[in-house]
Amino acid sequence: MLYWQGLPKEGIHTSMWIIYTLLTAFLLASSDAITKDLLTRYSPWQVIRARFLLALVFLVPLPFIYGFPTLDTTFWLAAGADLPLEILALLLYLKAIDVSPLSLSLPFLSFTPLFLLLTSRIMLGEHVSTQALIGILAMVAGSYLLQVGRVREGLVEPIKALIRERGAMLMLGVAFIYSITSNLGKVAITHSSPQFFATFFALEMALVALVIPYHKGDKKVWKLKDKAMILMALFFALHFLFHTLALNLARVSYMIPLKRTSILFGVLYGRILYKEEEIKERLLGASLMVAGALLISLAP
């Protein structure tokens, strides 16, 4: 086995991780809902830059409140491996949505939990129960159905797009990279603390955001007159804090699929804030996700 040593046993697999994960999903959906509005006024690069830099401002106090942990070699190895992969995933994600329609590329992010069944076993030595496996498959199927609800050509159109759409294949690569970085994050959290790693990761991504090339008109973001920008970053910061808290308590292969309930919250936001239709068409996907979430939450 190639899994990392020193990880805690799953005896701490308590209900708190479920609460933290659902809060993570809700806060991420809230941040994304505001992001959708911001993208009508700013470029994607501007929003990404603001998201990480402003989120860091909210997270910086945490190590001073909860203390700075002693960092060992394992932490630096995990954190050092995580950063270039996160950057690669971000670049591939942006390239994917640039070269292919969102409806044909985004559904493939749903496959991260499937990849985790392999990567978490290899990297962390995690095993999932039969009940959890059924729940994970239901979550993947449900999130896929939700995200392809607008594809007029049919539910298998994104699969067909793997052959002809470069963006679809790139997004599948992003999903696989996320299955690796999720495990690296678990290792880094275990060898530091959730609060510290939330701040550390935000600092890493903020430094990356600083090297994003500026374009004409970008500086208007930094006047901070747009309260929506600040609220978006606050929700994103809180989302990542609860993400690290949940990941510290749960198996990666359980927590990440449950976090996909953010898609459910996103559908509700779309209906309430943006009057999006096709809710009935997404009912099957939503039902599968709810059933999957229950199975994972109650799994041994």
Check residues 150 and 127 and name the one with the higher pLDDT.
Answer: 127
Contacts of 209 (CB under 8 A, 6+ apart): 48, 49, 51, 52, 53
Contacts of 75 (CB under 8 A, 6+ apart): 187, 188, 191, 192
Span of 33-47, 100-114, 130-144, 227-241 with lowest mean pLDDT? 100-114
Q: Write the pLDDT tens digit of every residue in 102-119.
A: 666 667 777 888 889 889
Q: pLDDT at position 102, please?
A: 62
What is the average pLDDT across 30-52? 84
Q: pLDDT at position 10, please?
A: 47
pLDDT over 50 (residue 65): yes
Q: At what angle do helices 16-38 and 252-259 cross, to 10 degrees?
A: 40
User: Is there a contact between 184 and 81 (Cβ–Cβ < 8 Å)?
Assistant: yes
What's phi and psi for 236, nearest 5 deg?
A: -65, -40
Q: What residue ranges do the domains of the chain occupy?
A: 28-297
